[in-house]
């Protein structure tokens, strides 16, 4: 999707998904402004040709200055702390409020909010975008992120409606890709042992960060379709056992024996809407794992 001459500010640009957003949108012709907390870190991680503007989520005035003159803002910055659920709540809820108030102050009329499928309460059923979100209530370490993202979505939607901002929200499931610090890193660690217990029956969604970026680009290119919409991004649906099989097929180091540990968890989020309306086609599980295996021993430099 071409975005030539569109200026886009991205919060959380030095994070895992943020790096893909920066690269993917620049490749589509967009002028990207990386809104970051730490300039030195950003200079290490991002190309020197990317414009940097410094602002923290708690500083609405600095955010507004960072958004001046842009056509769209991607609200991607968020955090999770398993040790301090209150910090997760404050950062994600108040940070999102500050971002969208800053978008309003800067006069920006297009926004993308990167949410998460954790906004839905756990269910064995497949959930679509009409399903109810988590209620705002006292959070503990396993629920704080989902509750905070659900409340942040409500804030973003309310401000967007009041201020006539064209908002699109994405709810990705397990975002991954080469050097993913969560799923890929965990698979690598577990699969090194000669004999390892391994979850069986646990089913999740896996979406490559580049495919999440593609969905964002498609929404930016088609605001007449995506305005006011929320889209699930389930990607590939697979059990953890199937993911380990795909890792082994790709040539990743694998144990001689995997001992199945029953874990009947089912995370299913219907993403038919984004496929139908925006033509989103995520890559296969094998393609994701093959790329991850190829990249695992290659130095980032």
What pLDDT does residue 297 have?
61
What pLDDT does residue 301 have?
41
pLDDT at 268 over 90: yes
Instruction: Judge whether 30 lies within some domain.
Output: yes
pLDDT digits (tens, 9 = 90+) for 56-75: 999 999 999 999 999 999 99
Q: What mean pLDDT is predicted for residues 41-55?
A: 95
Q: Which of 78-82, 97-101, 170-174 has the lowest mean pLDDT?
A: 78-82
pLDDT digits (tens, 9 = 90+) for 105-151: 999 999 999 999 999 999 989 999 999 999 998 877 789 999 999 99
pTM for this structure? Answer: 0.94
Decide which of 296 and 84 is more confident: 84
| pLDDT band (50, 70, 90) for residue 296 | confident
pLDDT digits (tens, 9 = 90+) for 203-225: 999 999 999 999 999 999 999 99
What pLDDT does residue 247 have?
95
Return the CATH number at 62: 3.40.50.720
Instruction: Judge whether 157 lies within some domain.
Output: yes
What pLDDT does residue 36 have?
96
The mean of the pLDDT values for the chain is 94
High-pLDDT (> 70) share of the chain, %: 98
Report the alpha-carbon distance of residue 262 to residue 281 in Å, rounded: 31
Decide which of 172 and 300 is more confident: 172
What pLDDT does residue 298 have?
59
Q: What mean pLDDT is predicted for residues 240-266?
A: 93
Instruction: Judge whether 286 lies within some domain.
Output: no
What pLDDT does residue 151 have?
97
What pLDDT does residue 33 have?
97
Instruction: Judge whether 294 lies within some domain.
Output: no
Instruction: Judge whether 95 lies within some domain.
Output: yes
pLDDT at 1 over 80: no
For residue 78, the enclosing domain spans: 7-173+207-234+267-280
Instruction: Judge whether 87 lies within some domain.
Output: yes
Instruction: Judge whether 212 lies within some domain.
Output: yes
Instruction: Judge whether 287 lies within some domain.
Output: no
Tell me how many domains the chain contains: 1
């Amino acid at each position: 999707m071409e975005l030539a001459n569109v200026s886009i500010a991205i919060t959380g640009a030095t994070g895992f998904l943020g790096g893909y957003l920066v690269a993917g949108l620049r490749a589509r012709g967009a002028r990207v402004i990386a809104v970051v907390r730490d300039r030195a870190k950003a200079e290490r991680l991002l190309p020197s040709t990317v414009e940097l503007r410094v602002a923290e989520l708690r500083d609405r005035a600095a955010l507004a200055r960072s958004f001046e003159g842009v056509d769209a803002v991607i609200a991607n910055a968020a955090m999770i702390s398993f040790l301090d659920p209150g910090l997760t709540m404050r950062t994600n809820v108040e940070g999102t409020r500050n971002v969208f108030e800053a978008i309003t102050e800067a006069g920006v009329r297009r926004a993308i909010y990167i949410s998460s499928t954790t906004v839905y309460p756990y269910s064995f059923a497949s959930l679509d975008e009409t399903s109810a979100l988590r209620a705002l209530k006292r959070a503990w370490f396993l629920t704080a992120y989902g509750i905070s993202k659900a409340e942040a979505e409500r804030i973003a939607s309310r401000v967007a409606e009041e201020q006539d901002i064209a908002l699109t929200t994405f709810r990705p499931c397990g975002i991954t890709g080469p050097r993913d610090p969560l799923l890929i890193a965990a698979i690598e660690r577990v699969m090194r042992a000669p004999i390892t217990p391994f979850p069986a029956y646990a089913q999740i969604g896996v979406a490559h960060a580049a495919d999440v970026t593609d969905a964002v680009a498609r929404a930016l290119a088609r605001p007449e379709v995506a305005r006011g919409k929320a889209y699930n991004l389930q990607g590939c649906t697979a059990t953890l056992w199937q993911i380990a099989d795909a890792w082994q097929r790709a040539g990743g180091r694998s144990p001689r024996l995997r001992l199945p540990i029953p874990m009947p968890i089912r995370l299913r989020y219907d993403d038919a809407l984004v496929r139908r309306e925006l033509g989103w086609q995520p890559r296969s599980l094998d393609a994701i794992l093959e790329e991850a295996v190829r990249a695992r021993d290659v130095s980032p430099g």
